């Protein structure tokens, strides 16, 4: 929480521009905007938001390290897990990646799918950030041979026409702007962001609309206990609509989501009474989610029970739910590590690969905090969930 260097003057000026934009929106909306709108502006305001503007974000010099940034093992295992699906669907199958980050995942996945003789007809990236798109394009142009690079395209919207294939998203749902709810006098309120007398952001609660209130009551019914007075957390009532939208016209194929989160009973534990919302800058947790808008990542954990409901409501069969460690180990981690070590030039490179395998799988690292959920339609995908079934928790 401490020892964070102050942002440099350019970064501060950038953040002040975003702050002014958010202040304008608050005025324009009668003095308060829902927290989800605040988060959306902080992350995605064109040219200013955290993901829309040109800060480093990913990797050791950025704000967080995602699994594909650690090295090649994560993407190689995911490619192993979906290769049978792509092969069964045949040469017209597509692979769609949501939120491609730095392009690290696509680079390794495409090379591995080629090696597995399971290349998709096209590898499409649905990326809302223009800045990240550009970075992905540069990286993939530089690191892929032209045959593979030609398979890559960027989508502005989810594919509306019928398609078959695989939809994959790592750490995307945690970045969706989330509403926050609070229980006051037994009623459901929605957290908003207003301005105090000095123009600083401040939290205010307003009565929740029908959609959010119904979603909170649905969770209470499922947990068989009302939330306590003052309880506050996140909930994405629009997750089923979001999922339907990103799937687009997918007919036959598989969906694969990886993120940090919990099954519902753990997510909404009574002691987690201020939710899972977190702000990060330079690998450090920042206590103030209002600090330096645009310069820090805002993220909330995923309710995997809600994801299971959304996937099945969208007409897919549930294929499995397990920890990231179980999934990677069940989909060739050992073999991918051995193959990468065999190709490594020196002991330092081999050491780095072994460290990567540990960070991906150890319980205190990403192994258990990150979880994997899959769905399928008209295709077999349960083969990918061979170990460590957690579906009983949902
Ligand atoms: C935490 S980053 C993860 C990036 C990458 N998947 C990785 O693992 O390194 C979140 C990504 O999701 C993207 N994103 C946010 N909302 C999205 C949406 N509605 N559809 C697709 N991508 C989205 C962001 O722009 C960003 O690329």
Give the chain's domains with CATH numbers: 9-61+178-236+266-299 (3.40.50.12710), 67-175+240-263+302-393 (3.40.50.12710)
Region 319-336: what's the mean pLDDT? 98
Distance in Å from the first CA to the final CA of the chain: 32
pLDDT tens by residue, 10-56: 889 999 999 999 999 999 999 999 999 999 999 999 999 998 886 65
The reported pTM is: 0.96
Return the best residue to mutate from 63, 139, 175, 241 for the ligand 1 pocket (most ligand atoms within 8 A of CB).
175
- Which pLDDT score is estimated for 61? 61
What is the number of alpha carbons within 13 Å of residue 307 lying toward its C-beta?
29
* Shortest-distance Cα residue to atom 16 of ligand 1: 176
Region 6-12: what's the mean pLDDT? 87
Q: Which residues pair with 267 in a beta bridge?
A: none
Task: Give the closest residue to 212 by CA, choosing from 239, 242, 179, 184.
Answer: 179
Ligand 1 center to 342 CA (angstroms): 32
- Which pLDDT score is estimated for 5? 80
> What tokens does 104 get?
């690290």
Q: How far apart are CA 281 and CA 296, in angstroms?
A: 5
At residue 253 the predicted structure's pLDDT band, cuts being 50, 70 and 90, is very high
DSSP state of 162: E
Residues with CB under 6 A from ligand 1: 51, 66, 68-69, 98-101, 105, 126-129, 132, 170-172, 175-176
At residue 62 the predicted structure's pLDDT band, cuts being 50, 70 and 90, is low
- Which pLDDT score is estimated for 7? 87
């Amino acid at each position: 929480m401490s020892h964070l260097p102050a942002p440099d003057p350019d970064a501060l000026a950038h953040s002040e521009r975003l702050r002014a934009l958010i202040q304008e929106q608050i005025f324009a909306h009668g003095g308060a905007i829902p927290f989800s709108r605040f988060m959306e502006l902080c992350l995605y305001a064109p040219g200013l938001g955290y993901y829309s503007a040109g800060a480093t974000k990913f990797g050791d010099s950025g704000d967080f390290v995602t699994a594909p940034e650690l090295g090649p093992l994560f993407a190689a295992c995911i490619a192993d897990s979906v290769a049978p699906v792509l092969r069964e669907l045949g040469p017209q199958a597509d692979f769609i990646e949501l939120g491609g980050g730095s392009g690290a995942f696509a680079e390794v996945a495409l090379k591995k799918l080629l090696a597995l003789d399971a290349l998709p007809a096209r590898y499409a990236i649905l990326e809302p950030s223009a800045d990240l798109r550009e970075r992905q394009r540069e990286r993939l142009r530089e690191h892929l041979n032209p045959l593979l690079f030609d398979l890559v395209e960027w989508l502005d919207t989810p594919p509306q026409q019928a398609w078959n294939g695989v939809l994959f998203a790592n750490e995307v749902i945690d970045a969706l702007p989330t509403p926050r709810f609070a229980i006051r006098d037994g009623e459901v309120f929605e957290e908003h962001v207003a301005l105090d007398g000095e123009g600083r952001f401040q939290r205010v609660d307003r009565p929740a609309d029908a959609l959010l209130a119904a979603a909170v009551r649905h969770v209470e019914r499922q947990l068989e206990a009302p939330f306590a007075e003052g309880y506050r957390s996140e909930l994405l009532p629009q997750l089923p609509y979001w999922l339907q939208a990103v799937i687009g016209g997918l007919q036959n194929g598989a969906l694969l989501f990886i993120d940090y989160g919990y099954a519902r009973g753990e997510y909404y534990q009574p002691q987690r009474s201020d939710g899972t919302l977190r702000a990060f800058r330079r690998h450090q947790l920042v206590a103030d989610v209002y600090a330096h808008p645009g310069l820090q990542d805002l993220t909330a954990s995923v309710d995997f029970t809600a994801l299971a409901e959304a996937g099945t409501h969208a007409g897919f069969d549930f294929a499995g739910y397990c920890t990231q460690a179980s999934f990677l180990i069940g989909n060739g981690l050992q073999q991918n590590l051995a193959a990468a070590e065999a190709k490594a030039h020196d002991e330092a490179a081999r050491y780095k690969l072994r460290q990567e395998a540990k960070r991906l799988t150890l319980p205190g690292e990403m192994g258990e905090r990150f979880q994997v959920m899959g769905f399928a339609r008209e295709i077999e995908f349960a083969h990918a969930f061979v170990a460590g079934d957690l579906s009983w928790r949902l």
